[in-house]
Amino acid sequence: MVVNKTPLRIGFVSLLLALACAAQDTAIRAAQDTAIRMEGGVFRVAGWQAGAPPAAGWSALLSVYAGVGDIPPLLGTYSVEAGALTFRPRFFLSPGLHVRAVFQPPGGAAREAVFEIPKAAPLEATTRVAHVYPSADILPANQLKFYIYFSAPMGRGDAWHHIRLLREDGSPVALPFLEIAQELWDRDNLRLTVLFDPGRIKRGLASLAEAGPALDPGKRYTLEISRDWLDGRGAVLADEYRKGFRVGPADRAPPEVATWRVTAPRAGKTDALVLHFPKPMDYGLLQHSIAVAGRAGVGGDAAIEGSVAVASDETEWRFTPRQPWTAGAWRIIVQTTLEDLAGNHIGRPFDVDTFDKVTQSVTRETVELTFQVK
């Protein structure tokens, strides 16, 4: 018997081919349906059922790159949610970024998706320099610092490009400030402390001899803060800021509490106690270096609560108590760390002249003044 097997063979092969084609179609459809989606900053692989994680971790299958060039993938965490491989970046993606997500299914062709994170809307320039201390327009030649207050939080890391000290002819003074990379901000980026380079203030240093002082007595200067300094949102300032001032002689005399004048408040009122200084004091330190307490030893040791205001170009310290004053003796307790504009402390100059017995440093932490409330 002759059995012709050919048709059967052909039929079987055709079936295999058909099955193979169908499988291929399914594979193609699956690949076409597999897509990387980004919703709310979260990346998901749709159309692919995630099984057990590969030995090298999910990052072997899905990586997201923020930016261009030779860069490592975004930091983030992987999970499988409703069967979909999901990637949550560690941080939100900044506006304007070009993002590329690459999915490499096991044994399949890689899929890639590109997302453009929308650029932020142009920001309105609203932040201003609110004030610069010292407020006075005559400063000692050995002025130690400026406090620059802003109306809104600023950005860090770029301060020294935006602060200049100009001479009367508009030429900039070279390196007048201590340009430290860390920048001396407060906790909210609202106030920057700018120290003059102590190497150009302190007597007896090579740098003072080499470059001279930053400020010459009798001359006029301008502190200039440029408008293109970016605030915490990334917007430029609303305006350039300029503070002009004249330079007086160097001040090497420590502040003397005995020369301060007290305007005492009246009993039964919440009038301000006013301290008048014969020269301006440091604005920042005035906020917390002076306290008011009752007579020592009669239950009046603790400082009373109240609010502090500084006025008249930092020559006035005003204290308004929360409770009305009671008649009797009161004390004003002053930390000796309080400085004048040139960094002279109570009882000790900025740089102590060890040959001069008059300026030996004091070791007390506080000094006191008394006043009577009637």
Partner 1 sequence: MTLRLLTGFCLSAALTFAAGFNMPAGKVTLKSAGALAFGPSGILFVGDSVGASIVALDVDDRTPGDAGASLEIKGVNEKIAAMLGTAADQILVQDVVVNPISHNVYISVSRGRGADAVPVILRASAAGKLTEVSLDNIKHASVTLPDSPTADRQRVETITSLKYADGRVFVAGLSNEEFSSSLRAIPFPFQTADKGTGIEIWHGSHGRFETQAPVRTFVPYEINHKTSILAAYTCTPLVTIPVSELKSGAKVKGTTIAELGNGNKPLDMIVYTKGGKHFILMANSRRGVMKLSGDNLEGYAPITKQTEVTGVPYETIASLKGVQHLDKFDDASALVLMGEGASLDLRTVPLP
Query: For residues 268-297, which are near partner 1 according to CB under 8 A?
Result: 282, 284-285, 287-288
Centre a 10 Å sphere on the Cβ of residue 54 and count the other Cβ atoms it contains.
12
User: 154 Cβ partners below 8 Å, 6+ apart?
Assistant: 127, 185, 189, 190, 192, 229, 230, 231, 232
Positions in 132-151 near partner 1 (CB under 8 A): 144-145
Instruction: Report residue 181 as tokens.
Output: 């990379």
Between CA 56 and CA 109 the distance in angstroms is 18
Of 23-31, 129-137, 173-181, 253-261, the window that binds partner 1 (rule: CB under 8 A) is: 173-181
Give ∠ CA 244-249-255 in degrees, rounded to 5. Answer: 100
Of 8-16, 165-173, 195-203, 315-323, the window that binds partner 1 (rule: CB under 8 A) is: 195-203
Positions in 95-114 near partner 1 (CB under 8 A): 96-97
CB of 149 to partner 1, least distance (A): 10
Residue matched to tokens 């001032």? 245
Does 199 sit near partner 1 (CB under 8 A)? yes
Centre a 10 Å sphere on the Cβ of residue 165 and count the other Cβ atoms it contains.
19
CB of 175 to partner 1, least distance (A): 4
With respect to partner 1, which residue has the nearer C-beta, 3 or 355? Answer: 355
Positions in 286-345 near partner 1 (CB under 8 A): 287-288, 337, 339, 343
Does 179 sit near partner 1 (CB under 8 A)? yes
With respect to partner 1, which residue has the nearer C-beta, 212 or 244? Answer: 212
Of 2-10, 120-128, 203-211, 240-248, the window that binds partner 1 (rule: CB under 8 A) is: 203-211
Strands of the sheet containing 129-133, edge to edge, are 129-133, 145-150, 191-195, 184-185
Per-residue mark of binding to partner 1, 44-83 (x: CB under 8 A): ---------------------xxx-xxxxxxx--------
List alpha helices for 261-316, DSSP H: 283-286
Query: Can you tell me which of 188, 228, 365, 368 binds partner 1, judged by CB under 8 A?
Result: 188
Between CA 191 and CA 214 the distance in angstroms is 23
